Amino acid sequence: MTPLAALRLHHLGLAARDPDVAEIFLTAQGFKCHRPIYDPLQKVFLRWCERSDSAPIEIVTPTSDEGQLASVLSQQDSSFYHLCYEVDCHTDEALLRIREAGLRVITVRPALPAVLFGGRSVSFHIIKGFGLVELLESDGVAPHNSPRTP
């Protein structure tokens, strides 16, 4: 098995200043977009769009003109800016595997519970030479400092 085979593409992250326009384009392609939700920890509005034969797309809209997401949108109205990978381990173990593969990783945002994913931990990292990735811990990963259940 290759060192990073455990990383599974989960979704594409689209930053959008006007999420309604992005939704119009996606629904015209057959995507079903759910109602937007607010994530207070990430301070963004999220809109989940899915189609059975495609990777889901998460439309992300900042709540202010400040922060990293706003800087992504400073030159354009929308941009695909991250790929999310689901991992079957804790974030720190996934990062260790990425580093062991010879890649340089810079953590942008440490693991936080994500409203969109039922409180599962998400974190953001720049992989030098690749770009911004989000790591989403799978349902089966026990929270840190709690016993794993069989």
Residue ranges of the chain with pLDDT lower than 70?
A: 1-3, 142-150
Q: What is the pLDDT of residue 67?
A: 74
SS3 content of the chain, % helix, strand, coil (to 5): 15, 40, 45
Q: What is the pLDDT of residue 143?
A: 60
Question: Residue 141 region, left (φ>0) first, then alpha (ψ -120 to 50), else beta?
Answer: beta
pLDDT in tens, 86-106: 999 999 999 999 999 999 999
Q: What is the pLDDT of residue 8?
A: 94
**Token couple for 51:** 């189609």
Q: What is the pLDDT of residue 71?
A: 83
CA angle 131, 5, 133 (to 5 degrees): 20
For the chain, the domains span 8-137
Q: What is the pLDDT of residue 44?
A: 93
Q: What is the pLDDT of residue 1?
A: 54
Alpha carbon distance 19, 17 (integer Å) = 6
Q: Are 122 and 85 in contact (CB under 8 A)?
A: no
The CATH number of the structural domain formed by 8-137 is 3.10.180.10
Q: What is the pLDDT of residue 145?
A: 45
